[in-house]
A and B are shown apart, each in its own frame.
Chain A
Amino acid sequence: MAALIAKDFSELFKNRLSLVVTVLVVVMIPTYYALMPSEVEETLVLGVRAPGLEEAFAQLGASSTALQIRSYNGTSALREAVQDGGVAAGIELAPDFVQRLLAGAKPEVNMIFSSVVPREARDSISTLMEELSFILAGQKLPVDFETEIIGEDLAGKQVAFRDQAKPMWLTLVLMVELISLSYLIIEEKQTGAIHAILVTPATSTQVFAAKTIVGATLASVEGTLVLVLMGQLGTNAPALLLTVLTGAVLATGFAFLVSAPAKDIMSSFSWLILVYIAMLIPPVTVIYPAVSSPVIKILPSYYLADNFNKVLNQGLGLREIGGNLLILVVLDVVVLLAGVIVLRRKYR
């Protein structure tokens, strides 16, 4: 068994693809994490074209640390700023805005949003416009703003995007090991080397045990290394390490499942992509909770991503994630056994 483990480690590290993927993941994810902003930008930048009212808007911007006003002379310049993302929204007042207002008519206010601005943000800015009209005119202006506020008010307790993305990075790191292990298994199948092993005293149980140890160890070490490099292992280390370990075993089981039907390395990629898509949906819903659904709980990586989110973003510990860990252990056994059964059939 020791010979099988040593051989699998050695083969994995001699394989350039596996080595490059492993190193890239360990280096790139913490680097990307470090480069992303660690704080939430709470200043709202608005672009305004308000002929005759520039001074009033400038004073409004100066009086608030949360609001920044940028004045534009032309409609096209304002639209360009919105399009480029330089401002969160553009507010354009008609040249006769004040005159119409004084005449008791409804003046035109044109709000310009980029299509990438979420609906929630548009609604919030519309509300803000109502407030601004009070500040500017001292009364409610005869301009209708339809407002709708949805979701929880996260003011003061927002989680930076890079932190929301942590469960996704970590799930990705664990799942990447699928590539290396399935490459090794498929190559042994393709060359027939596995048949040469199975006519020696080594049993198929020993072969699978060795591969499970190698796969789970590599994925665990990678996951732990990424946690350390991201500076995340300081709190609730036992909860995190147990989650990483159960995730690593899960990835190993999926590597067995993916390798069984694949005839060669290329055909394994189509299976790998399927698994990746399925496994990365739950961590994505951590970033975008609005797209989540209870059905997502049928995906094994839900419990992995949920654990990472609870421990890393909500500060919860072993007690709170214990149920998830138990489910992960059961899933590990089921996926691993299923992988061993289908792969053993293919070894014949």
Chain B
Amino acid sequence: MVAAIVADRLVFAYGDLVAVNDISFDVKRGEVLGFLGPNGAGKTTAVKLLTGQLKPKSGVAKVLGFDMAKEPKKAAARIGVCFEEKNLYPRMTGKGNLEFFAKLFGVKIDAEALLVRVDLGGRGNERVEDYSKGMKQRLMIARSLVNSPDVLFLDEPTEGLDPVSSENIRKIIREEKERGASVLLTTHSMLEADKLSDRVAFLNDGKIVALDTPESLKLKYGKRSVKVRPKGRREGEEVELPLDDPGTPEEIKRILEKGEFDTIHTSEATLEEIFFKVTGRGL
């Protein structure tokens, strides 16, 4: 599969502060890469390098085969960016915002259809300054889709959204992936990254400290154990049986045969636990 996004040994510093420190990764066509890390980890700087907003001190950022430091505008027509900041035109209507950006891309759009897609149907003629935070966020998503992009950069796309709207945005991201778009998803939400990403990259202090599929990371860093809550015990009083212990299979067999349990399940590590394990810090 051809890579849509390539970061090759990217380095960027704000003065003495190295924000992105020798990172390399790629995102294949039709793939969703979750970009995870705490505030100040270098996620936004990396996205700025990949969208041509910043030029790297060293290394190469390529999107759709174009070097974003040298020829960003060649790729721009096929890129969609949803920023973390709500950088809309507040005095324009929702529809006006979409149509203005469509003109910049040189495309004609059905603005109402795009608005319906993000649950803003019928609200397009209202000024953005009258929108709620969630509505603005959904309009940001719609704006990133005006040019049917081949590559999507989504920075915290579900931030400030209620669960129903968040699920709708996740549905849109899956649809875009099905359409063949590559997605770089920057998020704090490990749950979201887990649900949507084909692979995840952990970013800490400007470096990628882990990059793999969520399953592989869980296998690699997660605890291999089974949690059993014996009959009569309360939640939190589970017994943990390590899977690598030679005696565990027999013990599980015995419990199952006797039926002396209320619950039994594998203890799978979350991405958050893995991040903590890898970096020594939380998100």
A195 touches B91 (CB 8 A): no
Interface check B2, CB cutoff 8 A: no
Nearest-Cβ distance from residue A180 to partner chain B, whole angstroms: 14
Interface check B73, CB cutoff 8 A: yes
B88 touches A200 (CB 8 A): no
Instruction: Give 1 or 0 for each of B76-98: 1 = CB within 8 Å of chain A CB.
Output: 11010101011111111000000
Contacts of B81 in A (CB 8 A): 196, 199
A192 touches B104 (CB 8 A): no
Interface check A15, CB cutoff 8 A: yes
Interface check B101, CB cutoff 8 A: yes
Nearest-Cβ distance from residue A255 to partner chain B, whole angstroms: 19
B87 touches A192 (CB 8 A): yes
In the complex, which residue of chain A has the Cβ closest to the Cβ of B103? A3
Interface check B204, CB cutoff 8 A: no
Instruction: Give 1 or 0 for each of B173-208: 1 = CB within 8 Å of chain A CB.
Output: 000000000000000000000000000000000000
Interface check A119, CB cutoff 8 A: no
Interface check B53, CB cutoff 8 A: yes
User: A3's contact among B87, B91, B104, by CB below 8 Å, is which?
Assistant: B104
In the complex, which residue of chain A has the Cβ closest to the Cβ of B100? A7
Chain B contact patch, size range = 20 to 34
Considering residues A195, A197, A199, which has the most beta carbons from chain B within 10 angstroms of its beta carbon? A199
A197 touches B104 (CB 8 A): yes
Q: Which residues between 134 and 182 of chain A lie within 8 Å of chain B, taking CB atoms? A: none
Kindly state the separation between the CA atoms of A191 and B83 in the bound complex, as whole angstroms: 11
- Mostly, the A contact residues are helix
Contacts of A199 in B (CB 8 A): 51-53, 76, 79, 81
Nearest-Cβ distance from residue B99 to partner chain A, whole angstroms: 9
Contacts of A11 in B (CB 8 A): 89, 91-92
Interface check B143, CB cutoff 8 A: yes
Kindly state the separation between the CA atoms of A195 and B72 in the bound complex, as whole angstroms: 13
Contacts of A198 in B (CB 8 A): 53
Q: A192-B85, A196-B81 are in contact. Are A201 and B90 (CB under 8 A)?
A: no
Q: A15-B91, A191-B90 are in contact. Are A196 and B53 (CB under 8 A)?
A: no
Kindly state the separation between the CA atoms of A203 and B74 in the bound complex, as whole angstroms: 11
Interface check B236, CB cutoff 8 A: no
Q: Which residues between 31 and 88 of chain B lie within 8 Å of chain A, taking CB atoms? A: 51-54, 73, 76-77, 79, 81, 83, 85-88
Interface check B106, CB cutoff 8 A: yes
User: A193's contact among B51, B79, B87, B103, by CB below 8 Å, is which?
Assistant: B87
Kindly state the separation between the CA atoms of A7 and B103 in the bound complex, as whole angstroms: 11
Instruction: List residues of A whose CB falls within 8 A of some B CB.
Output: 2-4, 7, 10-11, 14-15, 191-203, 348
- A–B Cβ pairs within 8 angstroms, 26 of them: A2-B103, A3-B104, A7-B89, A10-B92, A11-B91, A14-B91, A14-B92, A191-B85, A191-B86, A192-B83, A193-B87, A193-B88, A194-B87, A195-B53, A195-B83, A195-B85, A196-B88, A196-B143, A197-B104, A199-B52, A199-B76, A199-B81, A200-B77, A200-B104, A201-B73, A203-B73
Instruction: List residues of B whose CB falls within 8 A of some A CB.
Output: 51-54, 73, 76-77, 79, 81, 83, 85-92, 100-101, 103-106, 143
Beyond contacts A197-B104, A199-B79, A200-B104: 15 other A-B pairs, Cβ-Cβ < 8 A, are A3-B103, A4-B104, A10-B92, A11-B91, A11-B92, A192-B83, A196-B81, A196-B88, A199-B51, A199-B52, A199-B53, A199-B81, A201-B73, A201-B77, A202-B104
